[in-house]
Structure 1
Amino acid sequence: MIKNYLATTLRNLSRNKTYATLNILGLALGITCSMLIFLVVKFELSFDTFHSKKDQLYRINTHVQFQGETGRLPNVPFPFIEALRNDLPEFKQATVTNYVSGGLVSINREGQAPARFQEENGITYIEPQFFDLFDYTWLEGNPQTSLKDPRSVVLTESQAMKYFNETSPIGKTLRLNNTYDLKVTGILKDFPANTDFPFNVLISHTTLKEVYSEETRNNWGNLNYTTQGFVVLPEGTNLKGLETKLSAFTRKYMDEEGAKSRSYVLQPLRTIHFDELYGNYNNRIVARQTIWALSLVGAFLLITACINFVNLATAQAVKRAKEIGVRKVLGSSRRQLFWQFIYETAFITTIALVVSIVLTQAALPALRELLGLEIYFTPLEEPVVIAFIIGLLVLVSILSGFYPAMILSGFNPIQALKSKFATQRTGSLSFRRGLVVLQFCISQVLIIGTLVVTSQMDYFQNKSLGFTKDAVLTVPLPGAQNLNFETMRSELKANPGVEEVSFSNLSISSAANQRTFFTFAKKGGAVESFVTSLKFGDEHFLEMHQVKLLAGRNFIKSDTIREFVVNEAMLRQLGIKSPEEAIGQYINLYDRIKAPIVGVVSDFHVTSLRENIDAVLMASSNRSYRTANIKLNATQMKEGITHVEQVWTKKYPEHVFSYQFLDQTIANFYREEQKTSALFRIFSGIAIFIGCLGLFGLISFITAQKTKEVGIRKVLGASATNITLLFFKEFAFLVVIAFLIAAPIAYYVMNSWLENFEYQVEVGVGVFIIAVGISLVIAACTVGYQSVKAALANPIKSLRNE
């Protein structure tokens, strides 16, 4: 029986090559998109799930109350974990990590100049206990002893090859930041890509005794982002009870006021990858809403492909009517015909699945580059991928094949042989129109989403940030304490490729943001405390970035803080009504530096547009400068960068030169949004294409049903244009209905997405007009071929009775 089904299917497909190609192509595209999205979702959901104690691992986050606001931090004080292990038996299995991220690694090679590597990330200080909590594979060394002694270091396999170009560098030495010699005591297998612990160079935690002073190591007030604490707790633990106990535990080591302001939250390891509140060492957060939204898009694309199949299959009903009639006369039951069509659908789906596997493999390199994720398609190694493929095959076969099989197997044999059967017997036209409406509804939601995301990206690029960002180079300054800034500035400006130079603690806008508290006495009021962003820059800093001065003057050159310049947001925070009123008023910083406000500048963005403009306190203090900001001549940028590198290398011969353009730093704030925008464009394009295939199927069906009607209209004088417009009006109506459904859905979804940004575009009427316009043009192009073909057909042939 199955052999007969297969032969019939192959015969039918060979006779209807266009139908077969459109069906296979539509299904293949839908399955490919679903498979790619599945691989992305699977990867994101797998972060740090390979640890055997994953369900018992928690990070200890700290909440700090200040001025009625709660600061939520993913870190703990430096001495916290050691004291915790000693004082509370419930937390015996605990460890601390200090992820410093970057640093300069130097390797002395015999007979050669030292090899230097400026690492941007991967450097961390950890305890041996880390490996009691987390699972990693040791190739050489011992997890209990390799990181026990100071100045010992464990490398991952690829990092060891990078530094030493040999398989076993045990006993070799590397130098960190031209300061500490570290002995290699172990080799780890590379950490998986799906981890939020991007460690490559793991230094013994006891080494920090040489890095930090005893005062810093015993400071319970300092909360440094690099210091994070992790603990293993038994399943079913009362987390709220332990969090209360942690707050009480803190009172032993802090004064009453400091301890009262602290509370702790135990966060499950499995949530760290998705939590925007606390972040992670990777500095890459994927919200669960994004995961589910992406999954929904994959489901929609698969549904669109199945709808396309239904429309194309039922459009073929007229052509297959006599075949069904003959089969029924010869004794085939409806049940046999039903399964014939189901097997036919499964066969087409199988072909489409094979094509989609090839397309998936071909598309993965581009997807990896676009998203920056280590995603691979290895079904033979992953049972879950095989299960997903089998599930797709069954699901698509049922969704695509059930309705056509019910319709086709239900034909009356007499009427089918005479080609006299009512429209409803070839499937409800209203139902198929409803399917097309659903397809275009999905397409228009994606189109509107694409337009909104693209508009928001353009807004990011074009919105004035309150300063000049073009052609500004930011260069880190290692060991700036002993640098003569004026000499270096003169040397850098000696080349015509360099227009201006200033020095600061951070670039004017960066992901890092130094915040601190200060006190201020309002007129007629008590002294109050406030929190602010703090920026140190030289006397050229504001002028080079073209920050507008509203009142007063710029700060003068100074080795220490002597005066302040503030922005408009600071005035609003302090309750000062005008820039002129602020001049001469005093701010007390750190409870030890009291200095006047000498200038007020217009607001500018120190971080991304997700956040509101912060109050900013600016001062000159060359002891704090760690960054050179260099304005290049746009016509001589290459020469300017070469000159900057030469001057920098002369000052720092034992370091590795690196730089970044300020506009690229700002663009990096929105990397994830840029990826979202690209995905929207790709998937909306595919959804539109699949929708066009479904529309083609429906117009094919309708033109077949209205053959005689078209003939009569032509005989009565209707022109080809009139008949073409007749078909187009019907489909334009479907597009408009789809738009009326899609518009409120898209408006709600995109407004929810835009709420992530403090500064955002308006979802105006224009977006919806463009979306429906695009849909109408696409529908016109798709309907055009078949409607024109029907309009130009010979009416004599159309009206002839068989």
Structure 2
Amino acid sequence: MFKHYFRIAMRSMVRYKSYAAINIFGLALGLASCILIFLIVRNELSFDQYHRNARKTYRVTSLGLDYNPSVSFAIAPALKKDFPELEHVSQYYYWRESMIEINQERYLLKDIGAADNEFAKIFDLEWLAGDPNSALEPPNTIVLTESTAKQYFGDQNPIGQTIRMDNDWELKVTGLIKDLPSNTHLTFKSLVSWATFHDETTNYWSIQGGYLYVTLPDNISARNIEQKLPSFIKKNWGEEVGKEGKLLLQPLTDIHYDQRYLNQTSMPRSKKSIYGLAAVGLFILVIACINFVNMATAFAIKRSKDVGIRKVIGAKPIQIIKSALSEIALQVIIALALALGGLLLFVPYTERFLGTRVIPTQLLQTDVVIGLLAISLFAIMISGLYPALVQARFNQLQILKSSFSIAVKGNTALKRGLISIQFLVTQLLIISTFIVAKQMDFFLNRDIGFDKESIITFDIGKNPEGLRQLLSRQPGVKDFCFASVAPAYNINYMPFSAPHLGMDEVDVTEMKAVDENYLPMFKIKMMAGLPIIKSATPDSILKIVVNETFITRLGIRHPEDALGERVTVGDRRAEIQGVVADFQSESKHKKIRACFLYYNPERFRQASMKLQSGNPKQTLASINKEWSALNPESLFNYEFLDNKIARLYEQEQTLYNTFKVFTVIALVISFIGLLGLVSLMAVQRVKEIGVRKVLGASVKNIVMLFLKDFVRLIFVAFAIAVPIAWYAMNSWLQEFAYQINITPIHFIVGLLVTLFVAGTTVFIRSFIAATNNPINAIKEN
């Protein structure tokens, strides 16, 4: 029996090739999107859960004025001493890049971690060579990931090879591990042994710190340890530190989602965004299934005479349903095969376009296979049941003696409901994408408080005066300055207070050492007073320029009133000589901090340079050559400032790219679905159209006949979409300290795009129906 149904389905698909191709393509696109989103969401929700000790591993974090994922190096030794019951205590430090030398060739090694021997006992690293129990124990050792070893040593065995790092350390390769999976917050590509570095700070507030992980025994809870931490701080660092310092235990499996902690190696991702993406996948699948229903129903009506003949010769309704379901199941299976084939081609590019690495072998994992089967069954039942029932309900006598459009009216309420859902989902996606796009534009281009265009940053090197002369004579350099860091970088913080102004509690300020050209080059606006002035000798009282937030913390409203005021920064007295407008040093997830700038050439580490328009590659090549001559033992490495800023919003950029991709897919699927709906209407109303034309109706009248129903449904869907989109996107925007305002234009864009896509599709198909010969339509039986 199954073979019989299969043969009928195959004959039908061969006979109606164009219908089958459109139907299968639309469903394949929907299935591929849904499966890809399922893999991404599955990956996002499984972060760090693959470690055997994941459920009892915590990161020790600090809470002062805000949440900090790293702690001072002083914490770990004291923690090991005072909490011997902890199974493992491991320190980890990350830095972005270092210069390395291998066989007298220099390279830039990126994503470096430093870890002690306990690290491999907490985290499940897949070791390919070396002893996990001792590889990170001795000083001057390094463990490489597989791809890093391949990059620098090719097919050679890296074990025992020597790497010289930053002209300071001779590191011996003692281990080789698999590349880290994509679902971990760890981002290193090599690990240097902790013993290589000898930082023995005892200061609780030291900014020289890293990440600290602990594994608890089964019989001790995190709450039990946390209750003892206040007394632990007081015992080791005194009552004063105990009043303001606080340590927390953050579950390992929460790190990827906890947005209280922003200054870390990988930005956390909101679970709202992940669940929103899952909803997008479900919506796209529903749209694809709705389209399949509409196309299958239209096709079923077109084949009504075939069904009528089968019923006349004895076919029972259940047989008609089985036959219809078999045909639809075959199309779903073909669509699934095409979807999987397309996914295998696209998967290697998911990390580039969507920010998530998906491995093809994930498609073979048990839960994924079960998910695919569930999705396929869902698609078959949702897409196939209604068209099958439509065919089973055909009145064979009416069909054979009159037009099938009279014999089969279809369920108008259901059709309208389906198309309304389609328009609703499409508008939700368009509105959401537009709002995310506007927020991204706000992040990157508006209200950052300084100029970032055509500016690069790089290390000053060992000869600042030589570099200054070099840059001064370069025709491709428009302007330059030296500083501890450029505006978008932040590494130095210190306490500040002003008891005479009523500010008794200590606050935290960012500190930047800058030269006299810093403010004009970055176009940071002066609000009052004097800019940074070059000074040959340091003053006993530090002359500082502060931002607006700094004087707000002092309780001063007007910039002019702050001039001449004295404050304590760190352990020094300072006098405010100028006030500048706030500028963004951190991401807009956080409120702008207090910041002061001062002149101190001894702390200059970074050069910033604005390029002339013209030939920047030639300018950079020339600077590279001359900078390398000034610093023969180092590599010239630069970064565009706008790229640095963009890194602050990688998660949001990923979300934006994802929404863009799947919104376009939803629009394509909607286009196919509308084509099916209008085709169904044209088939059902073919005789009506013919009669109207004979009675004098114009092509315009007939096109408007089709359009008016769709326009009405679009506005109904719009009325439902607006409050849903507003609630969802307003909730997402609350995650940022600075955000755009949602305005009516964001919703109107969604309405206009939907009207354009729907109007174009309906017009094309209805125009074809309206220009057909009316005599042929009236003659049709």
TM-score, normalised relative to structure 1: 0.91
1:583 aligns with 2:589: no
1:35-62: CA deviation from partner (whole Å, max 9, x where unpaired): 2212222332343333222222222222
Query: For residue 299 of structure 1, what is the aligned residue in structure 2?
Result: 282
Change (3 A) 1:642 1:711: closer
What's the CA shift for 1:147? 2.6
Do the aligned partners of 1:505 and 1:537 also contact (CA within 8 Å) in 2?
yes
1:276-334: CA deviation from partner (whole Å, max 9, x where unpaired): 22258542322222211111111111100000011111112332222222222322222
Do the aligned partners of 1:79 and 1:219 also contact (CA within 8 Å) in 2?
yes
Change (3 A) 1:568 1:268: closer
Query: For residue 116 of structure 1, what is the aligned residue in structure 2?
Result: 106
Query: For residue 228 of structure 1, what is the aligned residue in structure 2?
Result: 212
Query: For residue 611 of structure 1, what is the aligned residue in structure 2?
Result: 590
Query: For residue 799 of structure 1, what is the aligned residue in structure 2?
Result: 778
1:401-440: CA deviation from partner (whole Å, max 9, x where unpaired): 1111122112233233334678795530221121011111
2: CA distance between counterparts of 1:96 and 1:670? 27
2: CA distance between counterparts of 1:692 and 1:166? 51
After superposition, residues 340-355 of structure 1 pair within 5 angstroms as 340-355=323-338
Which segment drifts farther, 620-629 or 238-247?
238-247
What's the CA shift for 1:195? 2.6
What's the CA shift for 1:746? 1.7
The one-letter code matched in structure 2 to 1:325 is G
Q: 1:105 aligns with which of 96, 100, 107?
A: 100
1:488 aligns with 2:471: no
1: CA distance between counterparts of 2:169 and 2:291? 65
What's the CA shift for 1:91? 0.8
1:516 aligns with 2:494: yes
CA RMSD of superposed structures (Å): 2.5
Query: For residue 208 of structure 1, what is the aligned residue in structure 2?
Result: 197
1:454 aligns with 2:437: yes
Q: 1:468 aligns with which of 436, 441, 451?
A: 451
1:671 aligns with 2:650: yes
**What SS class does the counterpart of residue 533 from structure 1 fall into?**
strand
Do the aligned partners of 2:409 and 2:684 also contact (CA within 8 Å) in 1?
no
What's the CA shift for 1:789? 3.0
Q: 1:174 aligns with which of 149, 163, 188?
A: 163
2: CA distance between counterparts of 1:319 and 1:594? 88
1:264 aligns with 2:253: no
What's the CA shift for 1:664? 2.5
Do the aligned partners of 1:423 and 1:429 also contact (CA within 8 Å) in 2?
no
The one-letter code matched in structure 2 to 1:681 is K
Query: For residue 38 of structure 1, what is the aligned residue in structure 2?
Result: 38
After superposition, residues 682-697 of structure 1 pair within 5 angstroms as 682-697=661-676
TM-score, normalised relative to structure 2: 0.94
Query: For residue 418 of structure 1, what is the aligned residue in structure 2?
Result: 401
2: CA distance between counterparts of 1:608 and 1:75? 18
Change (3 A) 1:431 1:670: same
After superposition, residues 591-670 of structure 1 pair within 5 angstroms as 591=571, 593-670=572-649
Q: 1:156 aligns with which of 122, 127, 145?
A: 145
2: CA distance between counterparts of 1:611 and 1:603? 13
What's the CA shift for 1:18? 2.4
Change (3 A) 1:220 1:334: same
1: CA distance between counterparts of 2:363 and 2:723? 43
Q: Structure 1 unaligned segments of length 5 or more: list them.
A: 65-69
1:614-640: CA deviation from partner (whole Å, max 9, x where unpaired): 322111112221101112222353343
Do the aligned partners of 1:58 and 1:233 also contact (CA within 8 Å) in 2?
no
Change (3 A) 1:372 1:719: closer
Query: For residue 500 of structure 1, what is the aligned residue in structure 2?
Result: 479
1: CA distance between counterparts of 2:615 and 2:678? 59
Identity %: 37
1: CA distance between counterparts of 2:267 and 2:474? 39
1:556 aligns with 2:533: yes
Query: For residue 118 of structure 2, what is the aligned residue in structure 1?
Result: 129
2: CA distance between counterparts of 1:298 and 1:429? 27
What's the CA shift for 1:686? 1.6
Do the aligned partners of 1:379 and 1:386 also contact (CA within 8 Å) in 2?
no
Query: For residue 366 of structure 2, what is the aligned residue in structure 1?
Result: 383
1: CA distance between counterparts of 2:92 and 2:362? 36
**What SS class does the counterpart of residue 385 from structure 2 fall into?**
helix
Query: For residue 67 of structure 1, what is the aligned residue in structure 2?
Result: none
1:337-371: CA deviation from partner (whole Å, max 9, x where unpaired): 21211111110001111111222123223433213
1: CA distance between counterparts of 2:136 and 2:383? 59
2: CA distance between counterparts of 1:419 and 1:634? 75
Change (3 A) 1:350 1:644: same
Do the aligned partners of 1:560 and 1:623 also contact (CA within 8 Å) in 2?
no
2: CA distance between counterparts of 1:385 and 1:206? 43
Which segment drifts farther, 353-362 or 699-708?
699-708
Query: For residue 14 of structure 1, what is the aligned residue in structure 2?
Result: 14
What's the CA shift for 1:178? 1.3
What's the CA shift for 1:705? 2.4
Change (3 A) 1:729 1:579: same
Change (3 A) 1:220 1:424: farther
Q: 1:533 aligns with which of 507, 510, 520?
A: 510
Q: 2:79 aligns with which of 80, 84, 95?
A: 84
Q: 1:546 aligns with which of 507, 520, 523?
A: 523
Do the aligned partners of 1:441 and 1:741 also contact (CA within 8 Å) in 2?
yes
Query: For residue 710 of structure 2, what is the aligned residue in structure 1?
Result: 731
**What SS class does the counterpart of residue 551 from structure 1 fall into?**
strand
Change (3 A) 1:411 1:668: same
Do the aligned partners of 1:547 and 1:601 also contact (CA within 8 Å) in 2?
yes
Change (3 A) 1:477 1:231: farther
2: CA distance between counterparts of 1:746 and 1:337? 42
Q: 1:242 aligns with which of 214, 225, 241?
A: 225
**What SS class does the counterpart of residue 254 from structure 1 fall into?**
helix
Do the aligned partners of 2:159 and 2:173 also contact (CA within 8 Å) in 1?
yes
1: CA distance between counterparts of 2:730 and 2:363? 42
What's the CA shift for 1:647? 3.2
Query: For residue 75 of structure 1, what is the aligned residue in structure 2?
Result: 70
